[in-house]
Structure 1
Amino acid sequence: MSGASERRTAELRSGAPKKRERLTSGTSEDRGRGAETPAEIPATGWKDIVVRVYQDIGDDRIVAIAAGVTFFVLLALFPGIAGLISIYGLFADPGKMAEHLNALAGILPEGGTQILSEQIKLLTAQPPQKLGLAMVAGLAISLWSANGGIKAMFDALNVVYRERERRNFIVLNLQSLTFTLGALAFVMVSLLVIAVIPALLEASSLSRAGELLIKIGRWPLLFVGASFFIALVFRFGPSRDKPKWRWITPGCMFAAGGWLAASLLFSWYAENFGNYNKTYGSLGAAIGFMTWLWISVIVILVGAKLNAEIEHQTARDTTVGRPRPLGERGARMADTVGESAH
């Protein structure tokens, strides 16, 4: 075994928490210790996974960590909007963005759409910049400022997967900047699917049945897009050897579906019951939007924890590349096997 592998194994054996993970050959087939895919894990194994996820939500302080990520996302939000408008303005009229944002009223709470619309109107009211050095510099500053939200999510995923940050400054920031650009692209595509397509349908000659089909179909498209982006975050966000795609699919589906469902429910609750303005006064809209962000981050982190514990259930190598023995896979959840529920 190489020196790096020996250090990794020593870290795994001494790392906390010890009570629900162990280095083992994992020969108990009835619990999925030999599973090559999540589909091969039996019901008893899924019971182990669900119990550990429930326990780890408290042990890993996911709710509190999500609040910290929400803070950094809020700090990154307005620079991100500035960057989004700069990019959007290269392809379309940025002044239309506030109108398109109204189509997200079913997902975002009313306070959220109000805050974002006001900021977009404020930025688009300024004289447009031509593509040049000043615009490129402004876009770079906006992206760097927005980058903090993505890095906070990476830190949270390291906690969920129980990893230490091992990437150097350059690699970490290149990855987080790439995901920042990806997040902006996802927002632009989402606005296109949710807002622009229905507007085009109104001017088309499609039958009512065709229009209804496309209007309903935009939500599954949003689910697929969210699943894809979350899958990329789960695979490249934590500082560990990359898992195979099949081992992150369940958590991605849970996170994307849970995020859409939680967003719709919270938007409905805020509109009908949650009178934030009465409680918080002029801060009501901001508090409502911040609460929605916090809930969204919690759902995403729980999806990541689900993936982590699914990997933790099997003794097979879940990382990419040739199969390696336990303790040499460069990922705590792949290098150890979680305890069974009693």
Structure 2
Amino acid sequence: MKNHSKLEAYFNKRLTRLIDKAEKISFPGFNDAALYDVIIFFYKGIQRGYLASRASAIAFNFALALFPTVIFLFTLIPYIPVNNLQTELLELIHDFLPQNAYRFLENTLVSVITQKNGSVLSIGAISSLIFSTSGVHALIDAFNNTYHSFDTRNWVGTRLVATLQVFILFLLIAVALLIIVFSQVILNMLVEYQVLEYNLTYYLIIAGKWIVATALFFFAISFLYYYAPAKKSQWHFISAGSSMATILIFLTSLGFSYFVNNFGQYNKLYGSIGTMMVILLWLYFNSFALILGFELNASINNAKTQKA
């Protein structure tokens, strides 16, 4: 009994010291808010914020927006006069998607990417704008339903901001895709003409293009977080939440793709429907990561406001 009391006293003492240290330190991106306060608010946000329901709503709206947006982007490819662009893009998609998901979409992708179709392009542009705006609107609504309180906009204001963010996101994603695809085309040409070899420089350039693409993706998330609240004076564009969401989305996408390719048996059980399940799950996990990043930013803001 005495040993139990001593052990309990020891752990209580260590816990008190740990809390004292956490109350005195702050991480980069926390805006001088104490680590302990941020953890408390973040825990409450996760516990009381209905994250699963909010992530499900976002994933559903993103699923509606995904296909017309992808069709619109891909129908632009045949109009770009660059040799081997279609081949490089298909290889990129093959490397990014799970194998079974790529097989399910391969025929459609090849048809859309290699053949010009003005009517599909027009319909894709309109439907992409409508569904993408609704998707971002749903994302902002999910942010507004956080446990933490902050100023929000009315429906019209939210819709206008969602439309603006769609154009910004489209621009950033388009630039990222151009960097990834065109840089690979240029690298292959340099290797073909023996200007460049498969040496350290070649792999450094490849690493550099992915770093730039990741940075653009980070900025896209930062735009979402920065413009979601109506009052931005307390929010920073470069934030800890954006960093966490970017890392989480990268890890979940990588891990989920590895699991599906190596252990998933969904295609044997469900066929093509299983592929849709995989895409929806991938969207759900990434939506969850976006909400977690926003909850971290809201927790930092509340912790800083409470101390002021």
TM-score by length of 1: 0.70
Q: Matches of residues 1-342 of structure 1 in structure 2 within 5 Å?
A: 31=23, 38=30, 40-41=32-33, 45-85=34-74, 87-88=76-77, 91-92=80-81, 96-97=85-86, 99-114=88-103, 117-124=106-113, 127-129=116-118, 139-160=125-146, 161-162=148-149, 165-169=152-156, 171-204=157-190, 205-207=195-197, 208-238=199-229, 240-244=230-234, 246=236, 249-315=239-305
Q: CA deviation at 1:128?
A: 2.9
Amino acid at match of 1:58: Q
Cα RMSD (Å) of the superposition?
Answer: 3.5
Q: Distance in 1 between matches of 2:252 and 2:290?
A: 11
CA 1:113–1:155 in structure 2 vs 1: closer, same or farther (change >3 Å)?
farther
In the TM superposition, residue 36 of structure 1 has moved relative to its aligned partner by 12
Name the aligned partner's letter for residue 223 of structure 1: T
Offset at 1:39? 5.1
* Aligned mates of 2:223, 2:55 — CA distance in 1: 19
Q: Distance in 1 between matches of 2:144 and 2:83?
A: 36
C-alpha deviation, 1:138, in angstroms:
5.9
Amino acid at match of 1:253: S
Instruction: State, as a whole percentage, how many aligned pairs show the same letter.
Output: 23
Q: Residue type of the partner of 1:52?
A: F
Distance 1:126 1:299, change over 3 A: same
User: Does the aligned pair in 1 maintain the 2:45–2:299 contact within 8 Å?
Assistant: no
> For 1:117 and 1:106, how far apart are their aligned partners in 2?
13
Cα distance change on mapping 1:111 and 1:66 into 2, 3 Å:
farther
Paired residues in the alignment total 283
- For the residues of structure 2 that align with 1:187 and 1:153, how far apart are their CA atoms? 18
Deviations 1:45-89, CA, capped at 9 Å, x for gaps: 313322432332231111221111111111111221233245555
Structure 1: stretches of 5+ with no match in the other structure: 1-27, 316-335
Gaps of 5+ in 2: 1-19
Give the number of the structure whose residues are more often helix, by fraction.
2
Change in Cα spacing, 1:298 to 1:36, as seen in structure 2 (3 Å) is: closer
Structure 1 residue 222, shift from structure 2 partner? 2.2
Q: Kindly tell me: are residues 91 and 181 of structure 1, through their superposed partners in 2, closer, same or farther at Cα, counting changes over 3 Å?
A: farther
Q: CA deviation at 1:267?
A: 1.0
Aligned counterparts of 2:234 and 2:87: Cα–Cα separation in 1: 39
1:229-288 Cα shifts (integer Å, max 9, x gaps): 1111001123x2014553751111111122112211111111111222133332121111
Q: CA deviation at 1:191?
A: 2.2
Say if 1:105 and 1:313 are closer, same or farther in 2 by CA, change over 3 A: farther
Partner Cα separation in structure 2 for residue 87 and residue 149 of structure 1: 22
Q: 2: distance between equivalents of 1:114 and 1:243? A: 47
